[in-house]
């Protein structure tokens, strides 16, 4: 009997060790939760952090570009100033020479050809005198023309110098702004990453995302923007091909293009555009798709530009790489790097684009032109 009680006691002890009480289990869970005050980030939290990391990388790239452009502009100023100094010395000499020529005419030291011919003793002498006088006049005219040309060139250099100074001022302002934004974003990014339980693992993933963007995403977007610029250059073809979809009001003509017509136009220019789906929405042109395992998204608007040449330009507003939203500077860089414009006056000289509207399913472009120019 004692041996039986001993066995029961041993089994009870084993049970308590293997299966602790509900109260002790709750205590353990509470202690574990207290050890991690910040919640484990959701997928959306990680996505936002990846976007922030990509934005910092893109801003650093923009800062580098601005610094290089500023350095080039500063070197251009030195070059222009050096040219101006040399030009001014040449101009001073020309001023003296032209002054002497004008003084000679004023003082009568340059007799007129008629006076020289009449004072000649023979026809041969008169011909020689006329030839000599013509050479003097040509020499004088050449000096005066050189002076005028030199003055015009100097004025052009001065304008170029002012333009370059303005460019440097703008680059400096942009540089300061981008550095300030980048610093603020870096502080937020560092604070959020340091609060992660697996920050080291995240930073390794971040490096991979940036590397993939740098080696795959960035070149791929650059390739598509280049092909878009080529297709946009002939965009007038698309508009004037569909003369059946027009409305007229005097000299105003409105062309309406459907999404399908736009899609087929781009594919006709390059088969790679079959990877993208083009659509219109709220005055925005959107292109999205996938190529080489990379998700591409481009959103922008068509804007009428008057100076220096009348044109319609596609201006990128937002770019997404694998669903990561990139900063505005990335879209601006691509827009400035590639000419995403079409020039309607190359197709019809008298045409002026007055309005562009985009809505779901189609976009309309209104032009002012002489109606007969459309067909003749």
Distances (CA, A) of 134 to 93, 96, 113, 293: 23, 22, 8, 77
Which pLDDT score is estimated for 249? 80
Is residue 11 predicted with pLDDT exceeding 80? no
User: Scanning the structure block, which residue is given the tokens 């770019």?
Assistant: 319
**Tens of pLDDT, residues 65-76:** 888 888 888 888
**Distance, CA of 37 to CA of 342 (rounded, Å):** 57
276 or 306, which is more confident?
A: 276
State the pLDDT confidence band at 169, using cuts at 50, 70 and 90: confident
Alpha helices, H only, the chain:
2-18, 22-34, 43-107, 113-118, 123-194, 199-212, 218-233, 235-241, 259-269, 328-337, 344-347
CATH of 45-193, one of 3.40.10, 2.60.40, 1.10.1660, 1.10.287: 1.10.287
Is residue 4 predicted with pLDDT exceeding 70? no
State the pLDDT confidence band at 166, using cuts at 50, 70 and 90: confident
State the pLDDT confidence band at 334, using cuts at 50, 70 and 90: very high
Which pLDDT score is estimated for 17? 34
Is residue 365 predicted with pLDDT exceeding 80? yes
Is residue 198 predicted with pLDDT exceeding 70? yes
Which pLDDT score is estimated for 19? 36
**DSSP output for 240-295:** HH-TTSEEEETTEEEEEEEHHHHHHHHHHH-GGGGGEEEEEETTEEEEEEEETTEE
Closest CA to 351 of 265, 268, 235: 235
Query: Is the pTM for the entire model greater than 0.75?
Result: no
Return residue ranges of the chain for CATH 1.10.287: 45-193
């Amino acid at each position: 009997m004692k041996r039986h009680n001993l066995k029961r006691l041993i089994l009870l002890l084993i049970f308590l060790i293997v299966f602790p009480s509900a109260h002790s289990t709750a205590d353990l869970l509470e202690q574990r939760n207290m050890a991690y005050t910040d919640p484990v980030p959701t997928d959306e939290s990680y996505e936002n952090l990846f976007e922030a990391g990509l934005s910092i990388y893109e801003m650093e790239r923009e800062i580098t570009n601005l610094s290089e452009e500023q350095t080039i502009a500063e070197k251009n100023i030195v070059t222009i100033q050096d040219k101006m100094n040399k030009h001014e010395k040449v101009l001073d000499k020309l001023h003296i020479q032209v002054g002497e020529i004008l003084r000679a005419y004023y003082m009568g030291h340059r007799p007129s050809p008629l006076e020289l011919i009449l004072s000649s003793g023979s026809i041969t002498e008169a011909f020689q005198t006329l030839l000599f006088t013509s050479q003097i006049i040509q020499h004088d005219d050449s000096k005066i023309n050189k002076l005028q040309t030199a003055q015009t060139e100097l004025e052009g250099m001065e304008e170029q110098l002012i333009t370059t100074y303005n460019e440097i001022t703008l680059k400096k302002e942009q540089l300061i702004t981008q550095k300030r934004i980048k610093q603020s974003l870096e502080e937020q990014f560092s604070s959020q990453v340091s609060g992660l339980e697996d920050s080291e693992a995240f930073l390794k993933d971040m490096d991979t995302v940036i590397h993939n963007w740098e080696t795959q995403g960035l070149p791929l977007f650059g390739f598509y923007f280049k092909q878009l610029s080529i297709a946009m250059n002939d965009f007038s073809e698309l508009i004037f091909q569909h003369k059946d979809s027009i409305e007229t009001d005097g000299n105003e003509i409105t062309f309406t293009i459907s999404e399908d017509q736009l899609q087929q136009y781009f594919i006709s220019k390059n088969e790679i555009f079959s990877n993208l789906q083009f659509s219109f929405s709220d005055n925005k042109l959107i292109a999205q798709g996938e190529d080489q395992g990379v998700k591409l998204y481009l959103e922008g608007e068509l804007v009428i530009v008057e100076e220096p040449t009348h044109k319609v330009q596609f201006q990128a507003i937002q770019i997404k790489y694998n669903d990561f939203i990139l900063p505005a500077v990335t879209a601006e860089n691509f827009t400035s790097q590639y000419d995403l414009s079409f020039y309607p006056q190359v197709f019809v000289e008298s045409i002026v684009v007055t309005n562009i509207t985009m809505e779901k399913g189609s976009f309309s472009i209104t032009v002012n032109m002489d109606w007969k120019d459309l067909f003749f």
